[in-house]
Amino acid sequence: MELGRLIFGGLLLLWLVSGIARCAELKECVFPAIYNFGDSNSDTGGISAAFEPIRAPYGDGFFHKPAGRDSDGRLIIDFIAEKLKLPYLSAYLNSLGTEYRHGANFATGGSTIRRQNETIYEYGISPFALDMQIVQFNQFKARTNELYRQAKTPSERSKLPVPEEFAKALYTFDIGQNDLSVGFRKMNFDQLRAAMPDIVNQLASAVQNIYQQGGRAFWIHNTGPIGCLPVNLFYKHNLPVGYLDPYGCVNDQNEMAKEFNRQLKDRVIKLKTELPQAAITYVDVYSAKYGLISNAKKEGFDDGLKICCGYHVNDTHIWCGNKANVDGKEVYGGSCENLSKAISWDGVHYAEAANQWVANRILNGSLSDPTIPITQACYRH
């Protein structure tokens, strides 16, 4: 038995070393653009453009003003752009001050993979589900081709994506968290588990659509530990034993997130067979985020269940940037002083420091399948 373990360990080490060696031999990909699809975890201004703009103190930490992001500063998608030496993505829905030469962002806060029969005014669910984001991308690509042909000067064309570069772009996906939150609200766990194959199939259909139009490099995030979002505990008292894990996260919700991720990974593996020319990377964001929350103090952060922006005392909660009367006094849901130690920004979304920590641990490929950095995500393995 001991000999078998030694042999297995040696083979595993050999596989890892050979994988690292192969990656070292590859040149870095040159991605001319990023096209992103997702929810508030990667929305850089879409929901603000479509509805009421996100207000201060959102954005104050890095941009020094609201920047359409549900955070005090940059999101993981911003760190992806930085890593690939590209500009931050403009939201497709934002008509002013946009730059689409190097990509566009179709993500909107509250988006789901599967369409929901409710409005954004009820539970904050965006009307721009993933299938609609793909329709918008199709329209964007077709319109780009048309305008590029019509452009009469190099100056006019310089503001447009180069049509041939759609095939060389990186297509990123970060969506699925809201499908789970809707499921927790509308279904029991058995019903939600039964719905997951359809949900992940719809994400696969989005990838297939882009592939059919020439897209080849895909970077797909799984969903994070939704049970670790402080919002899930705002009004909970006298919880039964076992409801929370040792770090204060809701056990059952995280188990559902892990089941979703298992099914998503299986579907991505199948996609690699169905799309023979595609380079598809599955990224384990869950492990990175849970790793941060479970080691918060060691990593120099505050408690992962403590919110930075907003007011929460007993059963009184005032959302980040809002005001309300509490015991006859006006109270403002402002932000914490030390942003660099915050994990949760507002109870739902991560602070910039946490986003950067997570980005540093996923962009190098150590939590990806295959284990390649994002700078080599154009290669099929």
> What are the pLDDT digits (tens) for 88-114?
999 999 988 898 999 999 999 999 999
Burial class (CB in 10 A: 0-12, 13-18, 19+), 2: exposed
Sequence length of the chain is 381
pLDDT for res 214: 97
* Residue ranges of domains in the chain, CATH in brackets: 29-298+352-376 (3.40.50)
pTM (2 d.p.): 0.92
Contact 103, 33 (CB under 8 A): yes
Burial class (CB in 10 A: 0-12, 13-18, 19+), 131: middle
pLDDT for res 88: 98
d(CA 268, CA 246): 31
Which residues have C-beta within 8 Å of that of residue 84, sequence separation ≥ 6? 31, 34, 170, 374, 375
Of residues 102, 221, 312, 349, which has the active-site annotation?
A: 349
How much is the mean pLDDT over the chain? 93
Extended strands (E) in 56-152: 103-105
> What are the pLDDT digits (tens) for 228-272?
999 998 988 889 999 999 999 999 999 999 999 999 999 999 999
> What are the pLDDT digits (tens) for 129-186?
999 999 999 999 999 999 999 998 998 888 899 999 999 999 999 999 999 999 999 9
Of residues 40, 90, 181, 335, which has the active-site annotation?
A: 40
245 is catalytic: no
Give the largest CA-CA distance in the chain: 73
DSSP 240: P
* Cα separation values, 333 from 38, 56, 68, 69, 309, Å: 27, 10, 18, 17, 6
349 is catalytic: yes
Q: Which residues of 161-188 are buried (b: 16+ CB within 10 A; e: fewer)?
A: beeeebebbbbbbbbbbbbbbbbbeeee
315 is catalytic: no
